[in-house]
Structure 1
Amino acid sequence: MKSPAPTTNRRNGSFGHRSTPEHLGYSPTSGHNSSKVSRRNPMAATVMSVIGIFTACFTPPDTNNSKSFVDSEEFKSSSVASEASRSGSHKARGSSRGVSITLHNSIQGEPAIVKFTMEEIFQVTRNFSPSFKIGQGGFGAVYKAKLLNGTVVAVKRAKKSVNEKHLGVEFQSEVQTLSRVEHLNLVKFYGYLEQEDERIIVVEYVPNGTLREHLDCNHGSILDLASRLDIAIDVAHAITYLHMYIDRPLIHRDIKSSNILITEKLRAKVTDFGFSRQAPDIDSGMTHVSTQVKGTAGYLDPEYLRTYQLTEKSDVYSFGVLLVELVTGRRPIEPKFELKERITAKWAMQRFIEGEAISVLDPKLDQTAANSLALEKILELALQCLAPQRQNRPNMKRCAEILWTIRKHYRELSASEFRSFSTSSQRSASTKE
């Protein structure tokens, strides 16, 4: 595996909410009450500009220019939280698996990467038994397996393809990324195997599906707005970590609801790093990375799509689409809806600027005062993330800070509503007596 050239870490500091916010050239959300007038004036032009460029987001680049538009399928089963630091010894990491493993030697200062053998993979998957298969994505099949020490894992096996170079690049990207990162809200990496035409990635298994499945109620329960806010904050933390708090910051390039895994406690883990790219080195004067377009229709940054210039703000745009998806429950593109509602973010932003934000709230959610307030504030943040020009979008750290404030106010208002309801119920019961 070829190691990328090391770069200077220009984003020092540890991730935390006590950090000083980065001031932007426009005002983020402030206070509880956003009047229709305040939205119609300074925000109207931005909204209309956002709406005007949405169509370009869903048109693939010209294939004559050898640019590719790739829709990565969901990886339906992976990680749980990882709270340990990767500074622990590699010996400890290996021994915890309960299977015999070998370690790939460090290259140019890279951390050692755990390599499984084909015999070990065959053993834990029972020769890739169909009964162990739990999913199929664009990368390949996913199997649920148990290591000898009882740890349940997801084994992701790349499909055999004539386009070996394409799959090989994605595989190398995912392995390199997963081996470098360790965060509570990122998929936990166990190891990999690359042998002849076999490419396998092993991550920790979580049984509670993807965010998209929960928004579709495939797991039998409705995801309430409090949980959706928690998930949005988890994802914001994960992307902030990738953008700012590792030695060579990364751009994910495929933030979407089917790449967000949900734990049994309804918290989020970001997965699928096959499209990730190293961020531009701002210390060297770089403002962007010139690269072919990859991502998923409905989430793609229109500026990246038009110019092939990738920055961290492309992830911010995708996150804005995700915020709209969270509060509406709709997919980014809804072909069965009437024309004006087919592109969910365009429709939601239009309703927001018209002062009818409540009309886009997921009908599965109650129209309470707390839900209405949170909806307005989340859509306001989404509008900033969806700005046509990247310089007008907040960074992910700022998104996380704004979401923390929204959640704080949401909880306070929800508690107030609950107390009012309890008092009313007690009075009603006393009257009947």
Structure 2
Amino acid sequence: MKSSISSTVAFSVTVAVIFFSFLSTPSSALGSGSTYAVVYGSDTVCAVISGQPTQRILCHNTRLRTNLTLNPGVSFSSIAAGENFLCGIRSGGYSLLCWFNLIGSSYTLKPKRIYHNDTVLLQSLSVGNTQICAVVNGTNAVKCWRNDPSKAPNEGLVTVSSGVGFSCGVSVRNNRVLCWGKDPVKSGQIQTGFGNQTMVSVSAGESHACGLNSTGGLICTGRNESGQLNAPSGQPYLFSDLSLGSNFTCAIRTTNGSVTCWGGGAERFNNVTENISFESVTSGSGLICGLISGNLSVMCWSPNNFSRIFLPFQDILPGPCVEPSICKCGVYPRSDQLCSGSGSICSKCRILPPPQPSPPPSPPSTPSKGLTRGLLAFAIVGSVGAFAGVCSVVYCLWTGGFLGKKKVHNSVQPTITRGGSSTRSSSSPPSRSLTFRRQGSRMFSMRRQRSGTSSMKHTDKAEAFSFSELASATGNFSLENKVGSGSFGVVYRGKLNDGREVAIKRGDVNAKMKKFQEKETAFDSEIAFLSRLHHKHLVRLVGYCEERDEKLLVYDYMKNGALHDHLHDRNNVEKHSSLVNSWKMRIKIALDAARGIEYLHIYAVPPIIHRDIKSSNILLDSNWVARVSDFGLSLMGPELGKDHQQRPMKAAGTVGYIDPEYYSLNVLTDKSDVYGLGVVLLELLTGKRAIFRNGGDVEEECAPVHLVEYAVSAIEMGELGRVLDPRVGLPELGEGDAVELVGNTAMHCVNAEGRNRPTMTDIVGNLERALELCGDSHGSISSGICSIVSDIERD
């Protein structure tokens, strides 16, 4: 037995946010993960911060009262803590990073990459005193590091929790608790203590474990020298989330969200916490922390003394930001704001007691004759009234009476027509192209078809504005408010009545009939796609207006304009002090744009091909976060596992950026967007336009040059420095490696054959590496095909 709590080696708490659901559903913990954790032995609490484009990790040392941001600019979905170290799964689940020796003020930490795989993704994390384990998305297989991986069970687990020398999880196959680890005696005893109980969750402490079974009961087993197994008596379904410390246990009450603790003196604070509602609770060796429901702040208290601390964090994520389609019990309020438009937070599912059988009805009594007549008359009058009420409701809904001034766009449903009869009029293109069909008053929805399952994908509602509102917001579309043009019209800056600053795209009302259908399709396309796409690197659609011949789209206003203007506009070209005139910023912008396109190709269902990736369609918000815009030419791509080649009626795009294979062969794939991004990368490196004039002082006398021809030859000969943008200056040592990696990436992106171009996931990986290199003075770069193969670091 250890002499004091402070000398206790740490263990981990369950980092999976337990989604209580039917036990027959093995994916009930899909996407789950803790968003804050206590780092044992360092008086440090870390959390994933919400409401910002990057969901970064912020740490606070409660003793020194100092803050630390780990890997700023990188988003994480879940974190877990061990003894003086912290681990986090990156958003998307493809990489696991850990920071070791997180002690005192030693805040110059660099992470170790423990795992990296673009295809085998991680979904939840568990950390013990030394062991690190994670569950694989889809298969629920368990991977462990810093311990003997062979000890982990060879079957899927719903949730995993690690203690000192052991880990436990709930089996997908039979919902029994399985335990393993380098201390086989401890793990064997704890597993035996759960017996054959059918469990929903399990949480580990230093030498004990607790869990909730399928009937709502709390079961604890292991050592009990400090009363950590002595749970308060009560009815089933009394507790939801659990968190175990060195010699104490805490749980959240299902009735009011309060925290109650027992063992090791932790119960002395229960009279304070019983008046506060918490989203979740987590523990260290001598510290308990809870996420307060009211303001999503963290309150910590110690079982050893009557003191509490409120951490200086704002709006901590109550759960990871995931695709809303996987949320079985609805979406958490303010999800869009908390996730900054990139995914949603799932509301927790609660397992409830089974419904009690209704008492048998009393034998009917014989009513009197007068009462029978009265009831008959009442029934007739009530039926007539109910029928009239239903008719009124139907009429009001039909005429839009209930919708008021702000209505919901529900008239566009994108469909894929392949071969067979056309769904459009005789003026429509042949059915082999991707077309959009208007379905009057049907809500836009897409069927999810990944992994052999299908579900309806919810779309957010876009506001409908009146033309007069938008005219007023833009000063009657004054020239001074004009900020650019899009795929079907002119873009104006505007300010709505409620103070929101927006960008308003107005279609050309004087367009000839020949062009009208194209503008109509672009208008419908933007609403159809952007109403269901939510990502921090895609421009958000606020609403629309459709009155007579007027068609307008309303977006979030991007304060810092288009990347094209910062690189090429005459008013900006000579501004050497521009914020984009640094290699790190340019690489960050490229990474932001690549992540947005990767979302379209990989995570949108069905996938989407943008078809017009160029620097003028990459916009910068007030925080200089890049977002992809203008979906007027976008088309739906194939589902996963299907043919990736599409054949639109004709090629579309912008000269200089359009994929030559697509243009010449009329074959569209997602690699066409890769080509466009490759040209943008070359723009960022050279500062030159996609098509420019070169060779003399008088621009009109110079022959036009394609940027791809100009830059790729220099990259191939190892002379990238010869074509770099002089406004940025020569890169430093670490930056030089980063710029070289971006150059090699761009060269592969603009390969003449689409099959030889990298995927967007490869590109994102390379740009992430390049951004990391900007802060380092060393690093090696492979000049091979554009993908990074990361070695798994084992300690």
Q: TM-score, normalised by structure 2?
A: 0.40
Residue 343 of structure 1: how far off its partner (Å): 1.7
Q: Which amino acid aligns with 1:345?
A: V
Distance change in 2, residues 1:356/1:135 (3 Å): closer
Partner of 2:488: 139
Partner of 2:117: 20
Residue 281 of structure 1: how far off its partner (Å): 2.8
Partner of 2:646: 289
Residue 131 of structure 1: how far off its partner (Å): 4.3
Residue 363 of structure 1: how far off its partner (Å): 1.0
Cα distance in 2 for partners of 1:16, 1:233 equals 17
Cα distance in 2 for partners of 1:134, 1:340 equals 30
Asked whether the equivalents of residues 81 and 185 of structure 1 are also in contact (C-alpha less than 8 Å), the reply is no
Residue 17 of structure 1: how far off its partner (Å): 4.5
Distance change in 2, residues 1:174/1:81 (3 Å): farther
Residue 769 of structure 2: which of 400, 405, 409 is its match? 405
Cα distance in 2 for partners of 1:82, 1:136 equals 29
RCO comparison, higher one (Cα < 8 Å, 6+): 1
Partner of 2:445: 109
SS of residue paired to 2:340? coil
**Higher share in helix:** 1
Distance change in 2, residues 1:306/1:16 (3 Å): farther
SS of residue paired to 1:290? coil
Does the alignment pair 1:382 with 2:717? no
Residue 138 of structure 1: how far off its partner (Å): 5.3
Residue 302 of structure 1: which of 651, 660, 666 is its match? 660
Distance change in 2, residues 1:122/1:364 (3 Å): closer
Q: Structure 1: which 5+ residue stretches go unaligned?
A: 1-11, 24-79, 89-98, 416-433
Q: Which amino acid aligns with 1:327?
A: L
Cα distance in 2 for partners of 1:366, 1:413 equals 17
Partner of 1:354: 717
Q: Which amino acid aligns with 1:268?
A: A
Distance change in 2, residues 1:302/1:155 (3 Å): same
Distance change in 2, residues 1:342/1:263 (3 Å): same
Distance change in 2, residues 1:340/1:310 (3 Å): same
Within-5 A mapping of 1:120-131: 120-131=469-480
Q: Which amino acid aligns with 1:127?
A: N
**What per-residue deviation string (whole Å, max 9, x for no partner) do you get for residues 200-220 of structure 1?**
000011221211111237444
Cα distance in 2 for partners of 1:247, 1:337 equals 47
**Higher share in strand:** 2
**What per-residue deviation string (whole Å, max 9, x for no partner) do you get for residues 171-219 of structure 1?**
1111111111111111111011122211100001122121111123744
Alpha-carbon RMSD across the aligned residues, in angstroms, is 2.9
Partner of 1:44: none
Distance change in 2, residues 1:190/1:340 (3 Å): same
**What per-residue deviation string (whole Å, max 9, x for no partner) do you get for residues 267-293 of structure 1?**
21111111111012343x323110111
Residue 328 of structure 1: how far off its partner (Å): 0.5
Cα distance in 1 for partners of 2:562, 2:339 equals 18
Asked whether the equivalents of residues 17 and 401 of structure 1 are also in contact (C-alpha less than 8 Å), the reply is no
Q: Which amino acid aligns with 1:329?
A: G
- For this pair of structures, how many residues does the alignment match? 338
Q: Which amino acid aligns with 1:413?
A: S
Cα distance in 2 for partners of 1:216, 1:121 equals 30
Residue 126 of structure 1: how far off its partner (Å): 4.1
Residue 672 of structure 2: which of 287, 301, 314 is its match? 314
Residue 122 of structure 1: how far off its partner (Å): 3.3
Q: Structure 2: which 5+ residue stretches go unaligned?
A: 1-29, 32-90, 96-115, 121-336, 346-403, 411-441, 447-458, 697-701, 780-795
Distance change in 2, residues 1:305/1:130 (3 Å): closer
**What per-residue deviation string (whole Å, max 9, x for no partner) do you get for residues 54-102 of structure 1?**
xxxxxxxxxxxxxxxxxxxxxxxxxx997146769xxxxxxxxxx9411
Stretches of 4+ moved more than 4 A in 1?
A: 85-88, 338-341
Distance change in 2, residues 1:340/1:129 (3 Å): closer
Q: Which amino acid aligns with 1:349?
A: V
**What per-residue deviation string (whole Å, max 9, x for no partner) do you get for residues 314-343 of structure 1?**
101111111111111111111244779822
Partner of 1:203: 555
Which is greater in Rg? 2
Cα distance in 2 for partners of 1:252, 1:15 equals 21
Cα distance in 2 for partners of 1:81, 1:159 equals 36
Q: Which amino acid aligns with 1:402?
A: N
Q: TM-score, normalised by structure 1?
A: 0.71
Partner of 1:185: 537
Distance change in 2, residues 1:179/1:86 (3 Å): farther
Cα distance in 2 for partners of 1:22, 1:388 equals 26
Residue 593 of structure 2: which of 212, 235, 238 is its match? 235
Asked whether the equivalents of residues 358 and 372 of structure 1 are also in contact (C-alpha less than 8 Å), the reply is no
Distance change in 2, residues 1:308/1:227 (3 Å): same
Within-5 A mapping of 1:338-349: 342-349=705-712
SS of residue paired to 1:411? coil
Cα distance in 1 for partners of 2:729, 2:476 equals 48
Q: Which amino acid aligns with 1:373?
A: D
